[in-house]
Amino acid sequence: YYGESTVLYFNGAFMNAADAKIDLYSQSLHYGYAVFEGIRSYQTANGTKIFKAKEHYDRLRYSAEVMGIPFSVSTQELTDLTYELLERNSFTNAYIRPVVLCSPNMSLSKGKESYLAITAWEWTNGYLSNQMRIMTSSYRRPNPSGFKINAKVSGHYVNSILACQEAKDNGFDEALLLDIEGNVAEGPGANVFFEKDGVLYTPAAGNILPGITRATVLDLCEILGIPVVEKKFKPEEMRGADSAFYCGTAAEVVALESMDNIPFAQPWENSLGSELQKAYKNCVLEKEYTAETINN
């Protein structure tokens, strides 16, 4: 992720990545009590642009707030720091990972002080394959009565790691997690949509991380006139649907080939997801994305 000359931002200063040190007595390390974001920048015709910087940094601030982590850097300051970081590293297409860490404190009381780190690395290709085979996980997403699941909290990702590991151990590419009630929730790091009879369905907010990509996809559906329904549904309803996809900042819009070894019926090229995949690409690259320009 970093080389000899990589620069990161930590606790008020830009520094060489290898020189940054965190305290082993940090609450964040012992308890997963930290909040973070996953953001991307793209080389567009208008220069290097961070996609949805405001939405990501507003969510970072929200995550810190609901977790009781003191954090007062504004969205504008965070955005400016990130552009400076990209420039200092000469990154264009980058993955950006800000994290708000808590200071040394071994108690379970809320954070007294926080440190902001912003790391980034040049990253063009998605980490996911072109078409993914997913399995319904035996792990459920964290119970919303026990966690702030609207927030992007480091500790929640232990659940994601377990689910991902189980899927890989069973020969699948990725997991699909249900919520505590047994409804489809999301992937370990992405939201999910499926298509049936010309309509898209996606889990309603409440038991999922409401993704920024998901919101963008919903906006694109409106522009493109694609009907979409947010509702609760069981895995049986999704299994064997016409098509399906995951979406997230890292994954963008990525096709699902099969679920629990049952293929989605339609070829991906003919799916609504494929249309949205192109539209999303145009969107991050700041190309026009009207119904007319979508296939150019």
Which residue numbers are catalytic? Answer: 152
> Cα–Cα distance between 108 and 27 in angstroms, integer?
8
Rounded CA Rg of the chain? 19
Stretch that binds ligand PMP, among 19-27, 95-103, 128-136, 189-197 (CB under 6 A): 189-197
Please tell me whether residue 111 binds ligand PMP under the rule CB under 6 A.
no
Give 7 or 39: the residue with its C-beta nearer to ligand PMP.
Answer: 39
Please tell me whether residue 248 binds ligand PMP under the rule CB under 6 A.
yes
> Cα–Cα distance between 267 and 86 in angstroms, integer?
38
Report H helices in 32-186. 53-66, 75-89, 157-169
Q: Cβ of residue 148: shortest distance to ligand PMP, in angstroms?
A: 13
Q: Cβ of residue 141: shortest distance to ligand PMP, in angstroms?
A: 8
Q: Within its chain, how far is the Cα of 287 from the centroid?
A: 22
Per-residue x/- marks for ligand PMP, 249-278, CB under 6 A? x-----------------------------
Closest CA to 174 of 119, 241, 248, 120: 248
Closest CA to 27 of 113, 98, 104, 99: 104
In this chain, which of 20, 23, 38, 126 binds ligand PMP, going by CB under 6 A?
38
Chain positions 114 to 173 lying near ligand PMP, rule: CB under 6 A, are: 152
Strand 35-36 versus strand 94-102 pairing type: antiparallel
Give 111 or 203: the residue with its C-beta nearer to ligand PMP.
Answer: 203
CB 40, CB 95: distance < 8 Å: yes
Q: Tell which phi-psi region holds residue 68, choosing left (phi > 0), alpha (psi between -120 and 50) or beta.
A: left
Stretch that binds ligand PMP, among 110-118, 128-136, 210-218, 287-295 (CB under 6 A): 210-218
Residue 195 phi/psi, 5-degree rounding, is -115, 135
Give 161 or 291: the residue with its C-beta nearer to ligand PMP.
Answer: 161
Stretch that binds ligand PMP, among 163-171, 205-213, 218-226, 252-260 (CB under 6 A): 205-213
Please tell me whether residue 209 binds ligand PMP under the rule CB under 6 A.
yes
Q: Which residues bind ligand PMP (CB under 6 A)?
A: 38, 152, 186, 189-191, 209, 211-214, 248-249
